[in-house]
Amino acid sequence: MTIIRVALDVPVDKLFDYRAPGASTADIGRRVVVPFGRKSAVGVIVETAEASEVPAERLKSAYDVLRDLPPFSVEDLRLMRFAAEYYHHPLGAVVVGALPTRLRRSAGPSRQASHGVYRLTAAGAALEPSALPPRAKAQHRLLARLEQGPLPQAEARTLFPKGQPLIKQFMTRGWVTVAEAGAGATPAASVAPRLTAAQAQAVTDIVGGLGSYRPYLLLGVTSSGKTEVYLHAIAAALEAGKQSLLLVPEIALTPQLEVLVERRFPDTRTVSLHSGLAESERLENWRAAATGQARIVMGTRLAVFTPLPALGLIVVDEEQDSSFKQAEGLRYSARDLAVVRARQRGVPVVLGSATPALETYHNAISRRYTLLALPERIGAPPPTIRCIDTRIEKMTDGLSPRLLAALAGVIARGEQALVFINRRGYAPVLLCRSCGWVSACHRCSAQLVLHLPERRLRCHHCGHAAPPPAACPECGNQDLAPIGHGTQRVEEALVRHFPQARILRIDRDTTRRRRAWETMRRRIEARDVDILVGTQILAKGHDFPHLNLVAVLNADGQLYSSDFRGPERLYALLTQVAGRAGRASTQGEVLIQTELPHHPLYAALARQDYRGFAEAALAERREAGFPPFVYQALLRAEAPRLATALEFLSGAARAGRALDARVTTYDPVPAAMPRRAGHERAQLLVQSAERERLRVFLGAWHDALAHSRVTPARWTLDVDPLEF
Ligand SMILES: [Zn+2]
Ligand SMILES: [Zn+2]
């Protein structure tokens, strides 16, 4: 009798046994429909056995083993087992969670989607938007999308649900043609540029490592051509008949990268995987990866689990980016799992960044990873970075005379400027100057942010929103003052100072609408904007060739963050923002308004000396006993009352100390934001200088906590936490 052991998406960490006559070890990794409770569920066969410990009369039979798609390989399952054990998450949830949503339902995959892509013909590419009727929004949208690159038919169906007649019309006019994905050269096919000596050396090193596990840190200053190194390494992997996995932090960056990759490898099937795709498209792309048809797979963190039978190379771009770490459920780091996967599969992994995580940099200088450096910027010289001392300048609306003069110069020369302030809204708080009342969220330990255009006080943590009071709720004073600056207030001030300038605000509020960001990007590229005011949405990866001045406002707060990674994140963020300046042929300028113009972080930034910054920061971390010199895990608890959460954590701390006195168990403390969305939150940190010791400890500790009878608090364990 064949017994299958099935992973199901349930919150208990166990496998479920079923009878499955006719199933064999060849079915390991396949989906299976089984009875579960009174319903049926889709799981994945993880093991087979001859006998079960479940009494025969209680053992149920599986309904159906689904053989429509390639199964997860033994290696895929090995990676998932590692993730489940390392991050203490049920294996079933990890395995089922790695499937595209549609495959988690018993209905199974739908019809085979077509692989065709729509492309602009030469006539279509030459078409000016003004040739289309101005009111025909759908036509403009379609043209704009096609100008970015080939439009897969599956994507066309989701983006333009009623677009078939429109696309037909474009085809009749000879603007659009349909082709097999990856078939036939596109008119836009690009040729690889000549590499610099440093790029060529990096490519040689990586290509020399194909076929075995080799971790690399590609440390390249902004605009040093890291992407070109990835593309050459991918080309070598393709030539060797291998698939490449390219992980990127942001969904917003994948379309641009996709176009770049498709133009370079027009004959190769390339797919992307991220949460912004429609279900059908994600399934189709996943299937192409799993069957080996897609040779290049790009995606955000979730793509790290994609089955890739011929995997030969993994690249993680912007490896320091915090979006590689999932904050809920399986709290994994896709960057770290990419390294684990590369080791398990015996393939090279390239971690690329201008400002690597200190953990990664430490691995490189201690020679666990090979360090490949791209020290030279290609094209324009690096921007000059200067601080403006806001203690001595006479500020108006939070803007210094030097900054205003620089902005006036940019406008006069017809260039573009970016004013960066990492805070949306009008003002971070509303204050009553007579009694000291401040707008606070009743559900969070946070202040309500004033949003002026929509006249709302908003909590950025729980979503609570209310109109601002007409008078102080405490003392009746009608003159409430907005304190501090957000993007809306900076925009308003700039409109006042430069009434003739075209100013565009870009933050989460203005880009919420689908495709809003796309429209804005086109306006910026068309030089339809003089000054951009924006948050970190603007920091990442986008090239704006006419942007020559970047001004940074209010960055000092991050220097004194309670989180020890605050300065590291600030350095990375400011490097990215500064990198936007002077991308084309002219040298850019970066002005940082600060009360601390001599702070070592700004000094290192001005020298563009990541390695100097990192080495000083690592020395501090070593001194203070912080990662990467120790390994940490954070136990978080939430309860209606803070005392309950702390009591639970105190019990956990006692249990931990009894388990292994050589693992440091700190005392429970309230979270940095003790109250959030009506819940009181506390946390307990454990750490050890030995990763293996901590791993063993966490296994036993997690079991003890899971089986403790009193758990009045909701709790989660975060291994290698990034947020405190
Ligand atoms: Zn008052
Ligand atoms: Zn709130």
The DSSP secondary-structure symbol of 640 reads S
Average pLDDT (572-598) is 89
Q: Ligand 2 center to residue 680 CA distance, Å?
A: 12
Q: Ligand 2 center to residue 675 CA distance, Å?
A: 8
Cross-strand partners of 190 = none
What is the spatial distance between Cα 610 and Cα 571, in angstroms, rounded to a whole number?
A: 8
Identify the pLDDT of residue 380. Answer: 77
Q: Ligand 1 center to residue 448 CA distance, Å?
A: 16
What is the spatial distance between Cα 701 and Cα 595, in angstroms, rounded to a whole number?
A: 46
pLDDT above 90 as % of the chain: 73
Closest ligand to Cα 443: 2
Identify the pLDDT of residue 185. Answer: 40
Kindly tell me if the per-residue pLDDT of 183 is higher than 50: no
Closest ligand to Cα 673: 2
Closest ligand to Cα 457: 2
Average pLDDT (655-682) is 95
Average pLDDT (142-158) is 77
Q: Ligand 1 center to residue 49 CA distance, Å?
A: 72
**pLDDT band with cut points at 50, 70 and 90 for residue 94:** very high
597-606 tens-digit pLDDT: 999 999 999 9
**pLDDT band with cut points at 50, 70 and 90 for residue 132:** confident
Asked whether the beta carbons of 156 and 167 are under 8 A apart, the reply is yes
Q: Ligand 1 center to residue 432 CA distance, Å?
A: 5
Helix axes of 254-264 and 226-239: crossing angle, nearest 10 degrees: 50
Average pLDDT (152-177) is 77
Closest ligand to Cα 676: 2
Please work out, in degrees rounded to the nearest 5, the angle formed at the alpha carbon of residue 24 by the alpha carbons of 20 and 30: 80
pTM to 2 decimal places:
0.87
**pLDDT band with cut points at 50, 70 and 90 for residue 143:** confident
Closest ligand to Cα 459: 2
Place of tokens 């300038």: 501
Look over the chain and give the mean of its residue pLDDT values, rounded to a whole number. 91
Average pLDDT (292-310) is 96
Kindly tell me if the per-residue pLDDT of 333 is higher than 90: yes
Burial class (CB in 10 A: 0-12, 13-18, 19+), 55: exposed
Q: Ligand 1 center to residue 465 CA distance, Å?
A: 20
Q: Ligand 1 center to residue 261 CA distance, Å?
A: 58
**HEC secondary structure over 10-21:** CCCCCCEEEECC
What token pair was written down for 284?
A: 């189709």
Closest ligand to Cα 458: 2
Average pLDDT (474-480) is 95
Pick from 59-63, 119-123, 690-694: least confident: 119-123
What is the spatial distance between Cα 564 and Cα 628, in angstroms, rounded to a whole number?
A: 12
Asked whether the beta carbons of 533 and 494 are under 8 A apart, the reply is yes
Identify the pLDDT of residue 583. Answer: 63
pLDDT above 70 as % of the chain: 95
Q: Ligand 2 center to residue 468 CA distance, Å?
A: 15
Pick from 116-125, 285-294, 633-642, 682-691: least confident: 116-125
Kindly tell me if the per-residue pLDDT of 123 is higher than 80: no
Q: Ligand 1 center to residue 431 CA distance, Å?
A: 8
Q: Ligand 1 center to residue 466 CA distance, Å?
A: 18
Identify the pLDDT of residue 178. Answer: 76
Q: Ligand 2 center to residue 678 CA distance, Å?
A: 8
Identify the pLDDT of residue 609. Answer: 95
211-244 tens-digit pLDDT: 999 999 999 998 899 999 999 999 999 999 999 9
Q: Ligand 2 center to residue 302 CA distance, Å?
A: 29
What token pair was written down for 137?
A: 């929004």
The DSSP secondary-structure symbol of 497 reads H
Closest ligand to Cα 476: 1
Cross-strand partners of 325 = 333
Please report the DSSP string for 138-150 in residue order: HHHHHHHHHHTS-
Provide the b/e sequence for 297-330 (b: ≥16 CB within 10 Å).
Answer: bbbbbbbbbbbbeebbbbbbbbbbbeebbeeeeb
**pLDDT band with cut points at 50, 70 and 90 for residue 710:** low
What token pair was written down for 245?
A: 């996995």
Kindly tell me if the per-residue pLDDT of 172 is higher than 80: no
Identify the pLDDT of residue 288. Answer: 96
500-556 tens-digit pLDDT: 999 999 999 998 887 788 889 889 989 999 999 999 888 876 778 889 999 999 999
Cross-strand partners of 459 = none
Kindly tell me if the per-residue pLDDT of 184 is higher than 50: no
354-379 tens-digit pLDDT: 999 999 999 999 999 999 999 988 88
Please report the DSSP string for 33-81 in residue order: EEEETTEEEEEEEEEEES--SS-GGGPPBPSEEE-SSPPPPHHHHHHHH
**pLDDT band with cut points at 50, 70 and 90 for residue 187:** very low
Q: Ligand 1 center to residue 439 CA distance, Å?
A: 11
What token pair was written down for 440?
A: 């606070």
Closest ligand to Cα 471: 1
